Structure 1
């Protein structure tokens, strides 16, 4: 499974930020990633393990198929991607966006504190299972359309206690 992921490149299909937590994120054409912080101007950035959130269009398509009109950023993800099964990446995997931005996967999924509007209407939400979180190892500018590659894959054995 991990070997298959290493041979696939993805694409950044959207970048999104919000000024305040709890509000819908707005799409932007490019974003400045700051080492140890996250995306400049995003409310969720800070000195913690969930500096940046990522979700694949493959995951969003599942909710669209259930009848919801959703778009990149509606799940509060910062980076929407195509081409890599993000939820299969082990914690510790390093990704590169564009020429310079390097991220390290720190968490797969999250606990849904309160069922979001998407869950209330469809009975499901993919972010708690398929969204991933990362910290910024190397900053720089990323743009919609940039390539997303797996630089270094962590082994699943390394995650076993």
Structure 2
């Protein structure tokens, strides 16, 4: 069981790109972050609603590793927790390497299950010009690499705060690699 740390928690009740940092957020089972625009059983992202509003919401909670911010600073981008629209900023957990179905215990009570990778869109370049090329690249084999975090659904409710521990529980093998959701 790997242990990491919650660096920041964020939410926004409007569909804006960035989310405001909070002292705590409450996760609600099967819904997402209380008071966040993406809370719901069915899709809440505007582009997804336009495609099919009845689809299940596999993007209830967005998590990003703060190690990405260090990488972006080295490339000349000052990015802070919440800037990229994430609800939970983590440290010490390689989120992008985790398989589908991984469960993260955030703080003493909340549990989320990773559903896939966030697929960054052109809005990221409107936020900071050129940033999309920093968070989407290609590996040596030419495959697309998405670095802008993972999406999850809430299995167990709870309040989480900066400084809370993160425990990682991997699913049974064989593991399925993350794909965009």
**Structure 1 length as normaliser, TM-score?**
0.85
Please state how far the C-alpha of 1:159 moved relative to its aligned partner. 2.5
Residue equivalent to 1:36: 30
Q: In structure 1, what is the Cα distance between the partners aligned to 2:123 and 2:25?
A: 29
Please list the CA deviations of residues 3-41 of structure 1 after superposition, one character each: whole Å capped at 9, or x if unmatched.
xxx4x3100000001121124210001111100011101
Summarize the alignment of residues 66-77 of structure 1 with structure 2, pairs less than 5 Å apart.
Answer: 66-77=75-86
Q: Does 1:126 pair with 2:135?
A: yes
RMSD: 2.0
Summarize the alignment of residues 2-151 of structure 1 with structure 2, pairs less than 5 Å apart.
Answer: 6=1, 8-47=2-41, 48-117=57-126, 120-122=129-131, 124-126=133-135, 128-150=146-168
* Structure 2: segments with no counterpart, 5+ residues: 42-56, 137-145
**Structure 2 length as normaliser, TM-score?**
0.77
Of stretches 59-68 and 133-142 in structure 1, the one that deviates more from structure 2 is: 59-68
Q: In structure 1, what is the Cα distance between the partners aligned to 2:101 and 2:10?
A: 23
Moved over 4 A (4+): none
Please state how far the C-alpha of 1:44 moved relative to its aligned partner. 1.4
Please list the CA deviations of residues 29-56 of structure 1 after superposition, one character each: whole Å capped at 9, or x if unmatched.
1111100011101111211110000000
Indicate how the Cα distance of structure 1 residues 66 and 155 shifts in structure 2: closer, same or farther if over 3 A, else same.
Answer: farther
* Structure 1: segments with no counterpart, 5+ residues: 1-5
The number of residue pairs the alignment matches comes to: 153
Q: In structure 1, what is the Cα distance between the partners aligned to 2:79 and 2:17?
A: 15
- The answer on whether the counterparts of 1:118 and 1:125 sit within 8 Å (CA) in structure 2 is no
Q: In structure 1, what is the Cα distance between the partners aligned to 2:101 and 2:79?
A: 30
Q: In structure 2, what is the Cα distance between the partners aligned to 1:116 and 1:22?
A: 14
Indicate how the Cα distance of structure 1 residues 95 and 50 shifts in structure 2: closer, same or farther if over 3 A, else same.
Answer: same
- The answer on whether the counterparts of 2:65 and 2:89 sit within 8 Å (CA) in structure 1 is yes
Q: Does 1:157 pair with 2:174?
A: yes
> 2:133 aligns to what SS in structure 1?
coil
